[in-house]
Structure 1
Amino acid sequence: MVGPDVWETCREVIPEGSVFAFLAEHRGELFPAEMFTDMYPSANGRPSMPPQILAAAVTLQALHGLSDFETVQELRCDLRWKAGCGLGLHDMAFDPSLLAYFRRRLARSARPNRIFEAVREVVKATGVLKGKHRRALDSTVLDDAVATQDTVTQIIAAVRAVIREVPGADAVAAAQCSAHDYTDPGKPRIAWNDEQARAELVDALVTDALRLLGHLPDEQLGERAANAVGLLALVAGQDVEPAE
């Protein structure tokens, strides 16, 4: 934790009865550490950010309908979000790609709806959706079109970073990557409300990422290149996270 605990030091400014206060008080009960043990079975897969914090962040993200980038901005700047997720006053949270990484692990786990089940408890306890014209929460709340577009954006950006920073990666990408034109600054043109189309796009982009990683020249990389490769491995859903 960076800086003093926001819930302990700034409790009086967190709205009483709000979802933020509820998470601050009951986050440990909703998201105990053992709840995520199966998602990180190996020592190499141990997350750099505790999954309890990511779970609380994803819960608030779902309830407020925010993108990954917007969610991290709230975590960096809003005392309520910091209190609800257990961050310190000066904590700058994490890279938005960690949310995509967390969702992918969750989707591949034996209990992909575990966060949704906890979200229902939050909604029931706080009445956070009362009087609001917001879409009903359902089991797709963590894997909807907005979340998928975040994931797609992050994978494409990570592939571009590797192409830009790693010597020879542009030639590898030209030969191995076909899911998207990575020189095109726009998003892929698909029907974003079509669940199968979204899933096929993400699968194709991940395949591109893994092909690119698997065919890079075997050479010592500088810091920027190594960071780019590590980030691509992260957002592509591999089990090993780059060191902080």
Structure 2
Amino acid sequence: MLQPQTISPVPEQTVRVARAAFPKGNLYITMRDEIGTLYNDRDFETLFPTHGQPAFSPWRLVLICVMQFMEELSDRQAAEAVRSRIDWKYVLALELTDPGFDFSVLCEFRARLIAGGSEQQLLDTLLKQFKERGWLKARGKQRTDSTHVLASIRTLNRLESVGETLRAALNTLATVAADWLCSWVPQEWFDRYGHAVDEYRLPKGIAARKEYAQTIGCDGMHLLIAIYDDETTPQWLRQIPVVEILRQTWVHQYYMDNGQVCWREKADLPPAGNRFDSPYDPDARYGNKRSTTWTGYKVHITETCDVDEVHLITNVETTHAHLSDVEQTEPIHEALSAKALLPTEHIVDAGYVDGELLISSKVEHGVDLIGPVRPNTSWQAKISGGYDNSQFIVNWDAHTVTCPQGQTSTTWTPSDDKWGNAGINVKFSRPVCRVCNSRSLCTGSKTDSRFIRLRPQAEHQAIQSIRQQQQTAEWKQRYNRRAGVEGTISQGIRSFGLRRARYIGLAKARLQHIMTAVAIDLVRVVAWLRGIPHAKTRTSRFAALAPTGSFLREDSGSQAHLNHP
């Protein structure tokens, strides 16, 4: 039961001792003095029942969780800090003699936040107060980038994964239906699945490993058949989550051939993003970004980047690892719109940009999406004098295209591609193309005419325009400000543990990232109030010798301050 209360001032004795212990103040004391209380118990009253044991004050629990992320403390360490540290008692307005609480309260509170869907409220409430104080303004400049997050699980190869999935299912069934399991389970299973399935215990050699995979597949199918036997098995066993994970994993990794369970070849596997890599975190997915591969999640961080203003994180999106960056651009704009924090310029890398988004961001949200358009990858664009699409003149009203040799297209056919993207197919006359002297610069076909696929007019023109603009010094100078978000990601990784998920599951990872964003914003506001300037991009002594106008980029405007109190 929650007992809402007015947030009390800091007790006098706590003030005196804190001032004596920290005569120049520290992060938490400055945070309390300059920012005050950020949350109210009323903000969380829907998370608690109306009757029962009184709950620990929610506004204090939020701050404790945030400070826990500031210092990368475990629940036990955070609870001990509440009991023993003067600066923590000061910011929480507690008496020096306050005994604190059991560490399990923090885990329970996080579970309440997730169950009540209140995670986003932590960041939004903070941003609302910052707006009221004039530290955060809409219609400025913001930038976004993403980074990978490792799941809090052991990374498994395929053989380990299927073995651990079957072992996890057996352990769960041994807990909830021990008598049923013991009534039929083969004796050799105790030796095979009684311990963790580790690589060093697995057979060596391709043939032996494939045979072992077949054995695990047959055992898993034996278990699934027993679970789905209506005559001998209670139906509620099928509702256990790990049983469904086992079933789906066997669909992904095995197939039936004349009643025989067979191990799938790599080429026959479903996409990596659709498979479970571990039964202990079914939300974790395999992801890759350029040369980096991982199992876990991806986090997208958006922050303000106006010159001479505090740089604050305004939005955090946590997704499965395999989802592309471009799929998050529109959700980010919608989230910022809901907070009335849309920027005028949104600076992103190429992964967040496509032709449709360049148009929709401006039309629907009034946002200029500043980011490089991917280059033309056709072979014509890679050779000297090649006739790539940009060399053709499009008459959108007449529905014709003119090639560099002055020939006009013969067909104009709007159609969707296999992914559902709208476009226009354009072809030229075959007899004319066959006798063209520049055929080797235009098409690789020996018999067919040139074929071009155009995007819809607005997208085509936007992409061609950006490709020209991004070659100019003015555009490059505008885009330079994106680099600062890399400092924010580095700050999150090095000082707040952003790289690794502390908890299991996408929902808990999302809560972790939101609390991390709140922690970074508080650290940055305190640093801003103390007059600490934005960090500058470090330049090596050798690079500093480069003449003006060389490769060195401008200061990115990162605000990655020291973080610990």
Give TM-score, length-normalised by structure 1: 0.46
By relative contact order (CA 8 Å, sep 6+), the higher-ranking structure is: 1
* TM-score of the two chains, using structure 2 as the length reference: 0.22
Comparing both structures, which one devotes a greater share of its residues to helix? Answer: 1
Compare the two structures and name the one with the higher strand fraction.
Answer: 2
